[in-house]
């Protein structure tokens, strides 16, 4: 795609939308961590569920959190994230978030990144 910005993504998604027979639209859309694309999806496919790819979430988290967490604590922290991603209910997900928050108490930079950049985009 030539223009990977708000207008470019909106145009591309509107073109994609023409391929669907009204009132059908995608039920779920999985993307990478592209903010302009995320916003365009909300505009063009407002009833579709948008999720970010778990691999991209993990990549961003590792890239931004490993600098805050001591090496000997990293494996335990990773295990907590694996539990979060395998949560089978909202209740279990919320409990796992609290566990991660607790494990991050000594690493405030890590929790700040997660709570400000990853969690707001989860539905």
**Mean pLDDT in consecutive groups of 10 residues from the start of the chain, 123 residues:** 88 96 92 91 95 88 88 88 90 92 84 84 61
**Helix H or strand E encompassing 29:** strand 28-31
Q: What angle do CA 85, 64, 110 make, to 5 degrees?
A: 75
Give the pair of three-digit tokens for residue 86: 């395998």
What pLDDT, on a 0 to 100 scale, did the predictor assign at position 121?
A: 64
Q: Cα–Cα distance between 85 and 19 in angstroms, integer?
A: 32
Give SS3 for 80: helix
- Return the number of other C-beta atoms located less than 10 Å from residue 112's C-beta: 14
In the chain, what are the domain boundaries?
Answer: 6-52, 54-121
Query: Per-residue b/e over 36-74, b at no fewer than 16 CB within 10 Å?
Result: ebbebbeebbeeeebebeeeebeebbeebbeebbeeeee
């Amino acid at each position: 795609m030539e223009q990977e910005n708000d207008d470019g993504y909106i145009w591309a998604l509107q073109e994609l939308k023409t391929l669907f027979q009204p009132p059908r639209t995608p039920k779920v859309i999985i993307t990478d961590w592209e903010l302009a694309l995320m916003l365009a999806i909300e505009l063009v496919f407002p009833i579709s569920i948008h999720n970010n790819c778990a691999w991209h979430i993990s990549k961003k988290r590792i890239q931004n959190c490993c600098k805050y967490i001591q090496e000997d604590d990293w494996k335990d922290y990773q295990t907590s994230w694996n539990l979060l991603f395998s949560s089978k209910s909202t209740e279990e997900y919320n409990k796992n978030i609290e566990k991660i928050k607790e494990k991050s108490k000594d690493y405030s930079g890590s929790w700040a990144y997660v709570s400000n950049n990853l969690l707001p985009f989860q539905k």
